[in-house]
Amino acid sequence: MSTRADPPLPHAASFRLEQDRDRLVLRAEHLPNYAPIGVDWASDDIRRRIRGGKRQLLGRAVGLHKYPQTSIVDATAGLGRDAYVLASLGAELTLLERCEQTAALLADALQRVPDDPAISRMRLFATEAVVWLHAHPATADVVLIDPMYPHSGKQALAKKEMQVLRALSGGDEDADALLPAALACATRRVVVKRPLKAPPLANATPNFRIMGSQARYDIYLPARGSTET
């Protein structure tokens, strides 16, 4: 396996939102050989995940196989792929995204297909997740957190899309603060996606885990008496 690090990004990183036919895209002007990034919820991979149903790994992690109409806050929405899959399976999704450009891509995607039933179950807030979560205590069944894992310089070369998003957002070095805020907001569980060998978020031991072949979901139960397992 390759252990090449991501190529160093220029200090003068420059990003531009532009219209590309029917959708908004983000172009990394300092990386002219990289394709622009846009939100695509009609991809084969997304459709495959939706066909996997509520008992797929993510669906089980958020408890969708038990509670089909679960309300979920995606605290690290990114390009909204997990949120769209969950909304397509019947959940109500609140998307939080603090990066202005990424939030603009999400807003564009939500406007492009207004008749999609999944879209009607999604709402977006361009905001700092920690602030929003603290301002909305005990208002969602589940809070989902999927932070960027800190880049060590020893990882295999990341996908170009991830390189651009990491450079755009600066990574999620403050992700540990999300866990207590999420526990204050969630009434049923907090779900944190982590690489298999990564330490738990904020070094907090989860109540239980759901393991996959490439990642795991750490499940935390709020202290207000939840007995879920």
Name the burial class of residue 122, with classes exposed (0-12), middle (13-18) and buried (19+) by CB atoms within 10 angstroms of its CB. buried
Tokens, residue 69:
């109409």
Binding site as annotated, residues: 81-82, 97-98, 146
Phi-psi region of 14 (alpha: psi -120 to 50; beta: other; left: phi over 0): beta
**Burial class of residue 2, CB neighbours in 10 A (0-12, 13-18, 19+):** exposed
Strand 92-96 relative to strand 122-125, pairing? parallel
State how far the Cα of 50 lies from the Cα of 79, in Å rounded to an integer: 16
For residue 215 the two structure tokens come to 């990642």
- Please give the annotated binding residues for S-adenosyl-L-methionine, written as ranges: 81-82, 97-98, 146
**Residues facing 123 on adjacent strands:** 94
- The alpha carbon of residue 171 and the mean position of all alpha carbons in its chain are separated, in whole angstroms, by 13
